[in-house]
Amino acid sequence: MASAAEQMARNMNFSAFQKSTDLQKRIWFTLGALIVYRLGTYIPLPGIDPVALEEIFRQNASGLLGMFDMFTGGALSRMTIFALNIMPYISASIIMQLMTAISPSLEQMKKEGESGRKKINQYTRYLTVLITIMQAYGISVGLESMSNGSAVMEGGWFFRFTTVVTLTGGTMFLMWLGEQITQRGVGNGISLIIFAGIVANLPSALAGTLELGRTGALSTIFIIGLLILVIGVIFLIVFVERAQRRIIVQYPKRQRGNRMTGGESSHLPLKLNTAGVIPPIFAGSILGLPVTILGFSAAGSGPEWVTTLTALMGRGQPAYLIIYVALIVFFAFFYTAVVFNPHDTAENLKKYGGFVPGIRPGKNTANYLDKVLSRLTVLGAAYLAAICLLPEILMSQYAVPFYFGGTSLLIVVTVTLDTVAQVQSHMMAHQYEGLIKKAKLRGRR
């Protein structure tokens, strides 16, 4: 039998959305912020020759530069003020989470609640500035070396300084914009910025694929099969992201005065893919910096070892695939351990009298939850690795645009599901407020 919340979610319609003025304001704010982000991806850096830069990126589009450009929504290939996008902030978040797991002082700070979280966020911002400066300087030097400096109108320290300042300011603005979307809009701001970059380039990727079919580079049967594959991948992602293992939790009966309370059973939902879309984003962010610098160096007159290393890290190459899969698996387990602690969960169940049938409370429950979660994470990591390897096969073997790959679809579908869930929660909260107001009016009568 469906719960009251589930029944209310089913009964939501457009009229309920029209009545929720707060939700409408949040959606309009989110759309406005994303429009500002997209406008910024067309403002070029000063001192760049766009024609020479476009030619260089066309030659390297099949490599990892193309993947990194996909996450930035084309801002990297156009070398705009948002060329680094939000990736330095993601890299800083990865480092801070690793440090939190290693450093006892940071772990203690995390347990302090809201004040500790604010301190960690502040440290993350400082680290973001440092990483952005390093990446921006590497890009400025790489631009000067690309095709003997043809991409830069006038190189030198002034160009490097302006590039560092502009790219750092762009990344910090996007970090602030993402936080504003999270607080005043709908959905996770950082994820939505990456989502907007991918979706913005989907029409051009679709047009490019159809153009390959028109010229005969791809057969009509192959294009139809590709579309069926994309639909199948979307269904798989939705199924896995909603799949969960429900562990039954029983609460004992308690005597309170003349009444017997408790005795009901609930369930603890453990998602098959607890880490969500974070592992591919983290892995792409980790690979993005060195590959971008290597690609820029190889485009110029770099040493031979740089050219060799760039070739080994190219699209579909074994070295890249091994490193990418290893990073995805690592972050799947790492982020799952960050967001779900079996020992804390077992202690909370014990504190409130809950227990898993057949398992003793305390340490045995923690070990049981850890065992179940580890098995689920193995399946989740394998699913993520398979989904993210799909675009590499399509790109290297069939020259299919990267936007039809599993990684981009995973990000788009997951962010869409999370955003829709938040919209439903806002609408449900609005309906609950309406019911409470009606109950108060009836009580006064």
Note whether residue 5 is domain-resident: no
Q: What is the CATH number of the domain that holds 369?
A: 1.10.3370.10
pLDDT over 70 at 401, yes or no = no
More confident residue, 70 or 37: 37
pLDDT band at residue 68 using 50, 70 and 90 as cut-offs:
low
Note whether residue 64 is domain-resident: yes
Identify the pLDDT of residue 433: 66
* Domain limits for position 391: 21-444
Note whether residue 8 is domain-resident: no
Note whether residue 153 is domain-resident: yes
Q: In DSSP terms, which residues pair with 214 in a beta bridge?
A: none
pLDDT in tens, 328-352: 999 899 888 888 888 888 888 888 7
Note whether residue 10 is domain-resident: no
User: Region 250-257: what's the mean pLDDT?
Assistant: 68
Identify the pLDDT of residue 356: 84
Note whether residue 1 is domain-resident: no
More confident residue, 300 or 248: 248
Note whether residue 53 is domain-resident: yes
Count of the separate structural domains present in the chain:
1
**H/E/C letters for each residue in the chain?**
CCCHHHHHHHCCCHHHHHHCHHHHHHHHHHHHHHHHHHHHCCCECCCECHHHHHHHHHHCCCCHHHHHHHHCCCHHHHCECCCCCCHHHHHHHHHHHHHHHHCHHHHHHHCCCHHHHHHHHHHHHHHHHHHHHHHHHHHHHHHHHEHHHCCECCCCHHHHHHHHHHHHHHHHHHHHHHHHHHHHCCCCHHHHHHHHHHHHCHHHHHHHHHHHHHHCCCCHHHHHHHHHHHHHHHHHHHHHHHCEEEEEEECCEEEECCEEEECCEEEEEEECCCCCCHHHHHHHHHHHHHHHHHHHHHHECCCHHHHHHHHHCCCCCHHHHHHHHHHHHHHHHHHHHHHCCHHHHHHHHHHCCCECCCCCCCHHHHHHHHHHHHHHHHHHHHHHHHHHHHHHHHHHHHCCCHHHCHHHHHHHHHHHHHHHHHHHHHHHHHHHHHHHHHHHHHHHC
pLDDT over 80 at 292, yes or no = no
**pTM beyond 0.85, yes or no:** no
